[in-house]
């Protein structure tokens, strides 16, 4: 596929043959995102917040539109983060994601709930991630994008060696690696030109998708650890 050359030229790494990746992406019905290191470089403010980019936001919306066009169903979309982050909540609510899971140090717990709520199989989920805590989910998903970071060569090597990623972005989280990943998926779906044409024309088809997307009310789930039991006699 000629378009894939553009990704290679910019440092992206394909870990499987294009025809295999096209088959995998063809079965994707939902998208799932880690936050820190994916939407940004991972730096936090004193309140634990870390920002997002409008460049990535556009990419995510176009990917969701592309999946909606493929399946005529609003693709379930969620964020799973190990930390409590007000920016992730704001983004999820603004973009009408289905769920934002916060405070889940053991992320598979949230993933299992996401699958249950939407009646999904793990192979139907595309996962965008960058670090060690994400690997138990990446091992299960149908399409996995590792957001590349030059500072974590061993993490990338581990994911490559153990088959935990299908593509590694050439751009980092702070340099819009997520946008790169979304555009790649649209190319593999064969829908890049169509979604761009439909969006710039603000077509009736795009408006139907947008109405369905905007009807979603984001559910925020915060993991609450149980308080330790009081000493006997108290």
Say which residue the tokens 């690997």 belong to: 135
Q: What is the pLDDT along the chain (234 residues), one digit of tens a residue?
A: 788 999 999 999 999 999 999 999 999 999 999 999 999 876 766 666 678 899 999 999 999 999 999 999 999 999 999 888 889 999 999 999 999 999 888 999 999 999 999 999 999 999 999 999 999 999 999 999 999 998 899 999 999 999 999 999 999 999 999 999 999 999 999 999 999 999 999 999 999 999 999 999 999 998 755 444 444 443
Of 112, 104, 95, 96, nearest in space to 56 by CA: 95
The alpha carbon dihedral of 140, 144, 150, 153 has a sign of positive
Q: Are the CB atoms for 108 and 144 separated by under 8 Å?
A: no
Distance in angstroms (rounded) separating the CA atoms of residues 71 and 136: 27
- Give the start-to-end residue ranges of the domains of the chain: 4-96+107-214
Yes or no: say if 167 and 186 are a contact pair by the CB < 8 Å rule: no
Looking at the DSSP bridge assignments, the partners of residue 128 are 33, 145
Reply yes or no on domain 4-96+107-214 having CATH 3.20.20.150.
Answer: no
**Ramachandran area for residue 126 (φ above 0: left; ψ -120 to 50: alpha; else beta):** beta
């Amino acid at each position: 596929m000629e378009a894939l050359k553009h990704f290679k030229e910019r440092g992206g790494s394909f870990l499987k043959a294009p025809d295999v990746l096209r088959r995998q992406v063809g079965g994707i019905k939902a998208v799932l995102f880690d936050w820190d290191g994916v939407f940004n470089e991972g730096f936090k403010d004193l309140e634990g917040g870390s920002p997002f980019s409008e460049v990535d936001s556009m990419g995510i919306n176009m990917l969701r539109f592309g999946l909606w066009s493929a399946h005529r169903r609003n693709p379930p979309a969620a964020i799973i983060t190990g930390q409590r982050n007000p920016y992730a909540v704001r983004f999820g609510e603004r973009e009408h994601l289905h769920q934002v899971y916060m405070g889940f140090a053991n992320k598979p717990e949230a993933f299992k709930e996401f699958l249950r709520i939407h009646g999904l199989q793990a192979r139907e989920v595309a996962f965008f991630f960058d670090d060690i805590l994400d690997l138990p989910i990446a091992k299960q998903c149908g399409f996995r994008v590792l957001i590349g970071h030059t500072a974590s060569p061993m993490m990338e090597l581990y994911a490559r060696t153990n088959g935990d990623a299908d593509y590694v972005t050439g751009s980092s989280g702070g340099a819009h690696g997520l946008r790169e990943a979304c555009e790649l998926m649209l190319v593999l779906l064969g829908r890049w030109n169509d979604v761009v044409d439909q969006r710039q024309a603000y077509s009736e088809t795009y408006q139907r998708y947008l109405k369905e997307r905007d009807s979603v009310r984001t559910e925020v789930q915060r993991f609450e650890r149980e308080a330790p039991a009081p000493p006997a006699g108290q």
